[in-house]
Structure 1
Amino acid sequence: MERKGVAAAAGNEGKREFLDALANGLQLLEMFDEQTHSVTIQSAAELLGITRPASRRILLTLAELGYLQVRDRFFSLAPKSIELGYRYFRSLGLAASARPHLFALSREMGVGVALGVLSGPDVLFIERIEADRPIKLDLRAGDRLPAFAHSLGRVLLAQLPPAQLADHLPAGALNRLAPHTVTTRASLHQELSRIRERGWSFVNSELVHGLFGAAIALPSATGWSTVGLNVTSIGEPWTTEEVERRIVPALHACAENMKPITDALA
């Protein structure tokens, strides 16, 4: 990656106030992508065009703050880094702008509706509307659930390149959380493959007994969806045929209504 003189971008007027260390730290976070999963002190120094000691201080500071994790000599993004994106969504007003559409879908179908993103091994809710029913799930924006056992988390896991998938799965075994939880990685990978083929996920009694939900990934101009939309309910579950015939089209209609909002995130 060629460094483009970050300090110069600040202009002559702001040079005295410009913090090179902060700029280098932010630029380092921006380097992680599909090709760059981790860096060493030396490779970060080369990418940033700074000395090795300066690179070491930046990496260790970001690790101490929780934005990077280190394994052997390699530094990679830690789950906390996604919270910067979550704050971005909130500051953009994504949640507030999407809320009327989520509310309409919730009341139309009598279900809970949520937007979410991946945060490490969890799905992090950006916004959630509770169903207008006696039984409440007591979930709200900012809450997290295990992604591998949740419809919204699972549809986002299916969008990931294979090299990144491991970073969003539990480090150890897939614990049995409910009667039908997928507990082997082979079975989970098969299910993610099915989701990629059909474009939606359906999960029943894998996270909590009696809780079922369906989800889609919101279209993205980049081709890599990072935000998902799901509906959940408790009680008599939908059949797979009903999900495909009735639920998925309703999710896509809601996504289409929100397209001007989500396009602004591209």
Structure 2
Amino acid sequence: MFGRRTSRGAVEGSSTMSDTPAAGRGPHFVQSVARAFAVLRAFDAAHPSLAPREVARKTGLDGATARRMLSTLADLGYVRGDGGAYRLTPRTLELGCAYLSTLALPHLAQPHLQSLAHALGATASLAVLDGDDVFQLAVLPGFRRDATTVGTRFNAWESASGFVLLAGVPDDEFERRLRAHPDQTDLRDDLKHVRARGWALLGGAVAAPVRNRQGKVVAAIEVFVRPDLTPGIAVHEDVPELVRTAHAIETDLARH
């Protein structure tokens, strides 16, 4: 089925302190660290420049705390003042790049995604599940460039790769996630169908799982369906190539 999925951007733009429930905080929780990350996450593509009062509103911090956090982050080189407002600096990329540098999967998948993008003429991507979001680890553009980049987030319940990843979690986690989202329980049969057939078609894209040597779903690869194709033709022409690519990545991952 085709639908619309909504990008959350490279960084969440409405991160408040309440996003981290008190029940989930350990005894060594440092609130100032959480506040600093909430400030960084307040910036996104729609809000590249923020005044202290805007940061306070988006994070739920009081104005004085927001100003102190911004001042400290500026001293550390993660934001810079811009005429009364602040912007992120390139140094923030170090945080994401450090994470990516520890992962073998994006590097192993890249040549396969490149071939897939070339074969289908559409952007191919690799993503993992992060909470209720799909997080893009690698993006290889095809002839038709789609608006997605490394670090982009999508709601897992509204994207093809999200359906594949949700369908691939263990049964107990599958049920727990459905209980946590009672508005999504009507998707139970759809997700079980995705699990059985091994791919998903949603939001104008098709996705397939990537499994490790133990058979656990660790990622999903996805391509946008060409707009000139009906869903039936897309399944016939794109899905076999997508599944072959997923299996090729799995083979390399098992050898790594």
Do the two structures share a fold, i.e. TM-score over 0.5? yes
From 240, 263, 266, the equivalent of 2:254 is: 263
> What residue in structure 2 maps to residue 145 of structure 1?
154
Segments of 4+ moved more than 3 angstroms:
55-58, 61-67, 84-90, 165-173
> What residue in structure 2 maps to residue 8 of structure 1?
none
Shift of 1:57: 3.4
> What residue in structure 1 maps to residue 227 of structure 2?
235
Aligned length: 176
Q: Does the Cα contact within 8 Å between 1:121 and 1:167 map onto a contact in 2?
A: no
Shift of 1:223: 2.3
Q: Comparing both chains, which one has the higher relative contact order based on Cα–Cα distances under 8 Å and sequence gaps of 6 or more?
A: 2
Task: Write the mapping of 1:1-266 to structure 2, written as runs, cut at 5 A.
Answer: 57-58=27-28, 60-61=29-30, 65=34, 89-133=100-144, 136-165=145-174, 184-203=183-202, 206=203, 212-233=204-225, 235-240=227-232, 242-243=234-235, 245-263=236-254
Unaligned runs of 5+ in 2: 1-22, 38-94
The whole-number CA distance in structure 2 between the counterparts of 1:120 and 1:56 is: 18
The whole-number CA distance in structure 2 between the counterparts of 1:158 and 1:150 is: 12
Deviations 1:171-190 (A, max 9, x none): 668xxxxxxxxxx5233112
Letter in 1 for 2:249: M
> What residue in structure 2 maps to residue 4 of structure 1?
none
The whole-number CA distance in structure 1 between the counterparts of 2:218 and 2:185 is: 24
DSSP-derived class of the 1:57 partner: coil
DSSP-derived class of the 1:250 partner: helix
Q: Does the Cα contact within 8 Å between 1:121 and 1:169 map onto a contact in 2?
A: no
Letter in 2 for 1:262: L
TM-score for the superposition, normalised by structure 2: 0.57
Q: Percent identity?
A: 24
The whole-number CA distance in structure 2 between the counterparts of 1:170 and 1:128 is: 32
The whole-number CA distance in structure 1 between the counterparts of 2:201 and 2:222 is: 10
Distance 1:259 1:126, change over 3 A: same
Unaligned runs of 5+ in 1: 1-39, 42-54, 68-83, 174-183, 207-211
Shift of 1:106: 0.6
Shift of 1:153: 1.0
Q: State the Cα RMSD in Å.
A: 3.6
Distance 1:218 1:87, change over 3 A: farther
Deviations 1:8-66 (A, max 9, x none): xxxxxxxxxxxxxxxxxxxxxxxxxxxxxxxx99xxxxxxxxxxxxx9634x3599659
TM-score for the superposition, normalised by structure 1: 0.55
Distance 1:56 1:151, change over 3 A: closer
The whole-number CA distance in structure 1 between the counterparts of 2:153 and 2:185 is: 24
Q: Does the Cα contact within 8 Å between 1:117 and 1:226 map onto a contact in 2?
A: yes
